[in-house]
């Protein structure tokens, strides 16, 4: 007989991976930008540029912010250059002149000011990225541990059935859709226990009204259980074992 095995649904990995990817991206991006700026300003020369024109633009995804782009004219060693600087605030962009820094080996490469690097801000931003990464990693470990426990329950094949359950909203939302789950009770080792299924899409409810579904549980600790989608009947036990239901 083929060994039963639990295969996690795709949405179970969404939150751990989102935190991991966002955290890594944030930490790497902020650190790289900080290092690049430090290297640039360490060799840069400074001058004053004349602001020729300013335009606004939106950036920031869902919570969009208005930034300004200044088109400037400046002189290096008697030669005039034109360039632009983006990501400015309104107060910095709407001026007649502004301080800029340029690469002496490539005067076309310019940045605002003489040194805008922010050590405290970089540490805070990178720290948030590291925190997100840790949270995502912990969530992923917890998910893997949960999968291991469920597969052990399936391997031991100690189950009963639950036919007393309700469909309720879960605490999981994917693409603004609130997932549901089945919550019910079962009897094991002479006591009543609660069980709760994995979240599922409201349009893909695997639990039919009035149905009976297997609940796999640890015989020595029925609180550890898995409310499966397998249709089942109450198993028959030896006379010495009067538990007839399983826990989720």
Which residue numbers in the chain have pLDDT < 70? 1-3, 60-63, 116-118, 234-248
Which residues, at least 6 apart from 146, have a Cβ–Cβ distance to it below 8 Å?
Answer: none
Ramachandran sector of residue 83 (left: φ over 0; alpha: ψ -120 to 50; beta: rest) = beta
* pLDDT, position 240: 40
Q: 32-48 b/e with 16+ CB inside 10 Å = b?
A: eebeebeebbeebeeee
pLDDT digits (tens, 9 = 90+) for 199-245: 999 999 999 988 999 999 999 999 999 999 999 775 544 434 433 33
* pLDDT, position 13: 87
Ramachandran sector of residue 144 (left: φ over 0; alpha: ψ -120 to 50; beta: rest) = alpha
* pLDDT, position 3: 62
| Residue boundaries of the structural domains of the chain | 1-44+114-156, 48-98, 158-248
* pLDDT, position 243: 37
Contact status, residue 246 vs residue 222, Cβ threshold 8 Å: yes
* pLDDT, position 125: 84
């Amino acid at each position: 007989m083929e060994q039963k095995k639990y295969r996690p649904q795709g949405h179970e990995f969404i939150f751990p991976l989102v935190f991991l990817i966002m955290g890594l991206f944030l930490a790497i991006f902020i650190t790289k930008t900080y290092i690049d700026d430090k290297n640039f300003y360490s060799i840069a020369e400074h001058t004053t540029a004349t602001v020729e024109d300013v335009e606004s633009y939106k950036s920031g995804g869902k919570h969009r912010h208005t930034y300004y782009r200044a088109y400037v004219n400046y002189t290096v060693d008697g030669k005039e250059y034109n360039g632009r600087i983006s990501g400015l605030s309104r107060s910095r962009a709407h001026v007649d002149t502004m301080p800029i820094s340029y690469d002496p080996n490539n005067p076309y490469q310019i940045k605002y000011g003489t040194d805008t690097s922010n050590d405290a801000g970089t540490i805070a931003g990178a720290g948030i990225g590291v925190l997100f990464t840790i949270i995502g990693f912990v969530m992923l470990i917890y998910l893997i541990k949960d999968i291991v426990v469920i597969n052990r329950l399936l391997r031991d094949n100690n189950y009963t059935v639950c036919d007393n359950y309700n469909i309720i909203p879960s605490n999981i939302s994917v693409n603004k859709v609130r997932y549901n789950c089945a919550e019910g009770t079962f009897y094991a080792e002479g006591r009543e226990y609660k069980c709760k299924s994995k979240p599922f899409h409201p349009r893909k409810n695997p639990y039919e009204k009035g149905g009976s579904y297997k609940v796999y549980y640890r015989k020595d600790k029925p609180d550890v259980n898995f409310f499966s989608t397998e249709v089942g009947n109450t198993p028959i036990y030896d006379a010495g074992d009067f538990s007839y239901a399983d826990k989720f």
